Chains A and B, each alone.
Chain A
Amino acid sequence: MASEDAVDTLSKYPYAVAGVAIIIAVIFLWFTAEDSMQKDNRLMDLEQAVRIVEHNERSSEGLDRDLKNLEKFHESIVERLVEVDNATEILAFFLRAEEESGVKMKDPKEDDITPLKTIDEEDYDDEDFELSPDDRMIAQYQLTIGGTFPQVLTFVDKIYNGPYFVNVSSFEMGRETKFSPKHVQMALKVNILGRRGDSE
């Protein structure tokens, strides 16, 4: 009886019934649809990614050419890195400078071989730490030379502007009393930048 009344009442509101059906359908579709937030996020991520890619593209204009030039320069620098363990080669370098400048050199003394600052000291002190052959190292040498002032300057110039990367950390120059008053003696400490090499 109650259901007949309900049907009777609903039959009086056909448009309202249709409207309610539409509302239910729309709500159902709304909730079963894909998460729009997820799509918005995906869109934003993609926009960001494409922006980055395009920015990279613009920034990389001419990068290949620059990289090739840099690689050539890098190779030329690597060629100038002496193997710091190869004392023979370093001594030959000092002897060449001695011969070309005319100074007299006492036996060069190797002080220490240390890694360049970029290697962490703690790592270096660790027993298990292994240096790669390309790691940059500094070989420290003490030299004592004697000669005329121009000869000494020539020797220092040949060392400093020679084939290897050298800097002079300290020196002391004074008169060499054994020779004529024109002669001077110089004690200098030089750092030669090189690489560890494969000799070990």
Chain B
Amino acid sequence: MSRSGNRRWHTNFRDVSKLPNLEEVKQQFMVSAIVLGLALVLMGFYIMGKTERIIVDEQIHSLEQTFAEKEANNIANIAADAAFQEKSAFIQEIDDFYRSGVDPVALFLAISSKRPKDLVFESFRLENVSDATLNEEGELYEVSLDGFIRSGYDEAFQAVKVFGRQLEKDPYLEPIFRDLEVEKLTRGAGMSKMMTFTIVIKLEIS
């Protein structure tokens, strides 16, 4: 038998009229695959979302429980804090009042201890000069000292300057001392070797 004779060895039994249309089968497969794929993707998203919701629900439940357990304690803490703030404000108010003034004894002692021997004080005045309308934070005070010194003008002026420097270093005055001004330094009437003075010390209590 020749090789060409072998090619027709299998008989073709296909009944072409009963076979389905191949194009139609392809179309059915493609449409079903696309729609099912889309449905599966959507379902996947839905399941993911649902799972997330379940987790969120569990978290909400757990947080609600935690909050409920701590709420009573929290209310008590807030009340205690409010009471603490109220009492602190009250104490602060008293402290502000107390600290807004000058301790007169400490002021006397500070000025007396730093007074040069030649300086004689005749009067001592303390005045609160704060201007409430300026809404300043601190209280401003002026201490006016009137007196005399037995010396010439230069020595008197020098003595007052030394006095000012000494006051600045005083432990009580140092934080509140702002300035020292010689308001008046004149020769005393009828006395050749006496200068009268008025010194103003400015203090600020913040």
Is B63 a contact partner of A47 (Cβ separation < 8 A)? yes
Cα–Cα, bound, A187→B21 (Å): 125
Inter-chain residue pair count (beta carbon < 8 A):
171
Is B94 a contact partner of A77 (Cβ separation < 8 A)? yes
CB interface residues, A 32-66, toward B, < 8 Å: 33-34, 36, 39-40, 42-43, 46-47, 49-50, 53-54, 56-57, 59-60, 63-64, 66
Cα–Cα, bound, A169→B70 (Å): 51
Interface segment, B8-16, B54-62, B189-197? B54-62
Residues in A neighbouring B34, C-beta threshold 8 A: 16
B24 located at the interface, meaning its Cβ lies under 8 Å from any Cβ of chain A in the complex: yes
A20 located at the interface, meaning its Cβ lies under 8 Å from any Cβ of chain B in the complex: yes
* B interface residue count range (under 10 / 10 to 19 / 20 to 34 / 35 or more): 35 or more
Interface segment, B121-129, B150-158, B169-177, B179-187? B121-129
Is A63 a contact partner of B32 (Cβ separation < 8 A)? no
Residues in A neighbouring B93, C-beta threshold 8 A: 116, 118, 136
Is A153 a contact partner of B70 (Cβ separation < 8 A)? no
Chain A 15-39 interface 0/1 with B at a Cβ cutoff of 8 Å (1 = within): 1101110110011011001101001
Is A56 a contact partner of B125 (Cβ separation < 8 A)? no
A172 located at the interface, meaning its Cβ lies under 8 Å from any Cβ of chain B in the complex: yes
Residues in A neighbouring B40, C-beta threshold 8 A: 22
Q: What are 21 residue pairs bridging A and B, where the CB atoms are less than 8 Å apart in the complex?
A: A14-B32, A16-B28, A18-B36, A19-B38, A23-B38, A23-B39, A26-B39, A27-B42, A36-B52, A43-B56, A50-B67, A56-B78, A57-B73, A60-B80, A70-B88, A116-B93, A160-B105, A166-B101, A168-B102, A173-B124, A193-B94
Cα–Cα, bound, A156→B122 (Å): 19
A124 located at the interface, meaning its Cβ lies under 8 Å from any Cβ of chain B in the complex: no
Interface size (A, Cβ < 8 Å)?
A: 62
Residues in B neighbouring A188, C-beta threshold 8 A: 104
Of the candidates A53, A165, A166, the one whose C-beta lies within 8 Å of that of B67 is A53
Residues in A neighbouring B77, C-beta threshold 8 A: 56-57, 59-60, 63
Residues in A neighbouring B90, C-beta threshold 8 A: 74, 77
A191 located at the interface, meaning its Cβ lies under 8 Å from any Cβ of chain B in the complex: yes
Q: How far is the CB of B21 from chain A (nearest CB, A)?
A: 11
Among A26, A174, A191, residue most surrounded by chain B Cβ atoms (within 10 Å): A26
Given contacts A14-B32, A19-B39, A36-B52, 4 further A-B contacts (CB under 8 A): A13-B32, A15-B36, A167-B98, A175-B123
Q: How far is the CB of A119 from chain B (nearest CB, A)?
A: 11
Q: How far is the CB of B172 from chain A (nearest CB, A)?
A: 14
Q: How far is the CB of B29 from chain A (nearest CB, A)?
A: 9
CB interface residues, B 16-51, toward A, < 8 Å: 24, 28, 31-40, 42-43, 46, 49-50
